[in-house]
Amino acid sequence: MVAQRIPSSTDVLVIGAGPAGIFTALGLIRSHFSGSITMVEKGLPIERRSCPKERLGHCADCKPCRITTGFSGAGAFSDGKLSLSCHVGGDLPELIGERLAQSTIERVDQMYLDFGADPHVEGLGHPREVADIRRRAIQAGLKLVDCPIRHLGTERAQQIYATIERALLDAGVRILFEHECVEVLVEDGVCRGAMVRPTAGGDAVAIRAAQTVVATGRRGASWFDDMCERHGIRHSAGPCDLGVRVEVRNEVMENVNNVLYESKLVGYPNPFRNKVRTFCQNPGGFVSQENYDGGLAVVNGHSYKERKSDNTNLAVLCTFNFREPFDQPILYAQMVGRLCNMLGAGHILVQRFGDILDGKRTWPRELSRSNLVPTLPDAEAGDITAAIPYRAMIEIVNFIKAVDQVVPGFAAEETLLYAPELKFYSNKVSMDENLDTNVEGLHCLGDSSGWTRGLMMSSVMGLLMGEGLASR
């Protein structure tokens, strides 16, 4: 790629080209904003985002990881699910109101359709079957959150975002790929832009901007927490999620997959009563590895439109809300993840549920005898209970047993648990309904703000931000 010149100034500077950043730019363009828009993205354009693991058979340790960084962000590149209810995807409705959140979801959904999303919506219809699943969930002490899903699919999502990328470039948006923001420029309580440098190396250059939008996603959560501390950006401690990715045969999940596609179950199991939930269900999907800065390997799941496996995978996450004096939830989760990586010699750990109950590690030969073939072939068979804290592990085990009452076979001996599955949420940034922070000219959107979780709500926040900035 030809070296890109870093502009000295721009009217709106967007840090991060995930859904929140993308829809900020789309909101500006569709509102006929006449100023200049510059986006800074650490990763690659969508047409160059491909994981070498498919070809090599093992993680190539790309820096930065091509699954978690690049145009469209991490979630869009993995499986691309749009939740069409404002009751799913974080706390943004608390900030802007449920009515505005839901109406904006509908507008964003139409934009995705205009860019080529599949018109089919999963999880609609089947009221009697849904009622039966809900009844079993209630009996198990769980809550079923049924939410319509528009599934983009890993491969289709890349096509859709490629179309969006081209639309932004054609509209005159300058996108600095393979560039990273190292500092936001705050002077006398006003944000004046940011310091940006090429990821390949070189000096950081100041980009002056009237409005700066930080939309760095979960990957950039730790960096923005540092910015908040350094520049007095008001925020409060947020949660972190520790958990596992569960994999079972499709036959086990067949009814739920057909009726709901993605079942969202929430419980507060004994003895500690932490919130535990399912997340990111992938029927016929594939378990995957993602790498974060510093060499942290975490597990995730992909789901394609056309390519299918014999298995279904989903996350089971235990939420930790820390109180004073502790205020480093991201660091805590990272340390748990590194323990898992240490035990797996840098690989994702996998263990059979039955072995966890028996108090023993899993051996590779035991995996080879199972009906269930792991879709992450280089996962290291071992003992995840030696790394995941006791509180989280007990809650996860009890939750899986409860889900077994809703989905018989879910807690089978051969069910696979991969670790670590971690969700980093930035400390929640204090802002008003106009998405303004206490630092004039600085805004924080999407998962890096602590207010959203997932593609749709991040896109909603971005669209509202773009339209709001265009009207100022």
Q: How many domains, the chain? A: 2
Residues 300 and 395 in one domain: yes
Residue 449 domain flag: yes
Q: What is the pLDDT of residue 154?
A: 75
How far apart (Å, rounded) are the C-alpha atoms in residues 47 and 268? Answer: 42
> Dihedrals φ, ψ of 439, to 5°?
-95, 115
Residues 264 and 391 in one domain: yes
Cis check: omega of the bond before 64, within 30 degrees of 0: yes
How far apart (Å, rounded) are the C-alpha atoms in residues 415 and 422? Answer: 20
Residues 186 and 303 in one domain: no
Residues 211 and 291 in one domain: no
Residues 324 and 373 in one domain: yes
Residues 380 and 448 in one domain: no
SS3 category, 114: helix
Enclosing domain of residue 293: 127-147+239-424
Cβ neighbours for 417, distance < 8 A, ≥ 6 positions apart: 244, 245, 246, 247, 350, 351, 352, 353, 356, 384, 396
Across the chain, which has 472 residues, the per-10-residue mean pLDDT values are 80 97 98 98 92 78 86 78 94 96 98 96 93 98 94 87 97 97 96 97 96 92 89 89 98 96 94 96 94 90 91 97 85 95 97 98 94 96 98 98 98 98 84 96 94 94 98 93
Q: What is the pLDDT of residue 1?
A: 45
Residue 186 domain flag: yes
Q: Hey, how many other C-beta atoms are within 10 angstroms of the C-beta on 155?
A: 13
Residue 4 domain flag: no
Residue 122 domain flag: no
Smallest CA-to-CA distance from 257 within 75, 72, 129, 82 is with 129
DSSP 8-state code for residue 468: H
Residue pair 49/273 in contact by the 8 Å Cβ criterion: no
Residue 210 domain flag: yes
Residues 243 and 232 in one domain: no
Residue 60 domain flag: yes
pTM of this structure: 0.91
Q: What is the pLDDT of residue 21?
A: 98
- Given phi > 0 = left and psi -120 to 50 = alpha, else beta, which region is 57? left
Q: Which residues pair with 300 in a beta bridge?
A: 288
Measured in whole angstroms, how far is the alpha carbon of residue 187 from the centre of its chain? Answer: 32
Residues 343 and 449 in one domain: no
Q: Which residues pair with 245 in a beta bridge?
A: 315, 418
Query: The domain that contains 170 carries what CATH number?
Result: 3.50.50.60
Residue pair 240/320 in contact by the 8 Å Cβ criterion: yes
Smallest CA-to-CA distance from 329 within 419, 234, 268, 241 is with 241
Residues 363 and 453 in one domain: no
Measured in whole angstroms, how far is the alpha carbon of residue 357 from the centre of its chain? Answer: 30
Smallest CA-to-CA distance from 426 within 275, 254, 152, 214 is with 214
Residue 1 domain flag: no
Rounded to the nearest 10 degrees, how much is the dihedral formed by the CA atoms of 444, 450, 451, 452? 100
How far apart (Å, rounded) are the C-alpha atoms in residues 34 and 470? Answer: 8
Last residue of a domain, one of 392, 407, 424: 424
Smallest CA-to-CA distance from 147 within 470, 462, 455, 374 is with 455
Residues 20 and 134 in one domain: no
Residues 258 and 324 in one domain: yes
Residues 205 and 77 in one domain: yes
How far apart (Å, rounded) are the C-alpha atoms in residues 357 and 413? Answer: 9
Residue 333 domain flag: yes
Residue pair 432/228 in contact by the 8 Å Cβ criterion: no
